[in-house]
Chains A and B, each alone.
Chain A
Amino acid sequence: TQTVSQSDAHVTVFEGDSVELRCNYSYGGSIYLSWYIQHHGHGLQFLLKYYSGNPVVQGVNGFEAEFSKSDSSFHLRKASVHWSDSAVYFCAVSPDTNAYKVIFGKGTHLHVLP
């Protein structure tokens, strides 16, 4: 069974700061890893994904994430945040043996202050 952990429930930064949102997973085999964003009152929107190849993947709006097999991590980063990046961010994993069973972390609420 795969699990995904997002250790920070809330992260607060100022506009223009860099930010890293942490995601750790546990699973013995190959997995798909993704990040999603949820603005208040809306559904989730896909940001980026990783399965194999270059461990650093680029997403929309300047977001990128880095896969580390040794750390079992897939942290999301942005070099310079904007107030509109304030939202809840979810990390998701699914095993390649059943890619349909997508499991989400509890989410990290990013607050960007002006």
Chain B
Amino acid sequence: GGIITQTPKFLIGQEGQKLTLKCQQNFNHDTMYWYRQDSGKGLRLIYYSITENDLQKGDLSEGYDASREKKSSFSLTVTSAQKNEMAVFLCASSIAGSAETLYFGSGTRLTVL
């Protein structure tokens, strides 16, 4: 088995601040994803990376940057945190070509004061 580790678990930021969320997986999966989860809105895809050094925008990429530093890690940066923003960011991975089965981390809960 494997695990996806997201750090930090809780992130508190100030309005306008640049914030970085990190994700590591030891499944040796090729593809990684970042989703944003808001209460009552389900999950929305921010970025995904099919393989190392690849980046693809999802439906919610505006306001975010992503970086796939190596196969096992995928970072997400909130470029300018919005006041009163509160959401959970979920990282996931999958075997290449098998995207219908995603493995998720426990999430990073963001609060912007």
Residue B104 at the A interface, CB < 8 A? Answer: yes
* A46-B42 contact, Cβ under 8 Å, with A100-B31, A100-B50, A100-B56: no
Contacts of A101 in B (CB 8 A): 45, 48, 58, 99
Complex: A26 Cα to B42 Cα, angstroms: 17
Give Cα distance in the complex from A99 to B101, angstroms: 10
Count chain B residues whose beta carbon lies closer than 8 angstroms to a beta carbon of A: 28
Q: Does B41 contact A (CB under 8 A)?
A: yes
CA distance A26 to B8 in the complex (A): 36
Closest to B90 in A: A43
How many chain A residues touch B (Cβ–Cβ < 8 Å)? 25
With A43-B107, A44-B90, A92-B100 given, name 16 new contacts (CB 8 A): A9-B40, A36-B102, A36-B104, A44-B92, A44-B102, A46-B102, A51-B100, A94-B99, A94-B100, A99-B100, A100-B31, A100-B50, A101-B58, A101-B99, A104-B42, A104-B43
Which residues from chain B contact A92 at a C-beta distance below 8 Å?
A: 100, 102
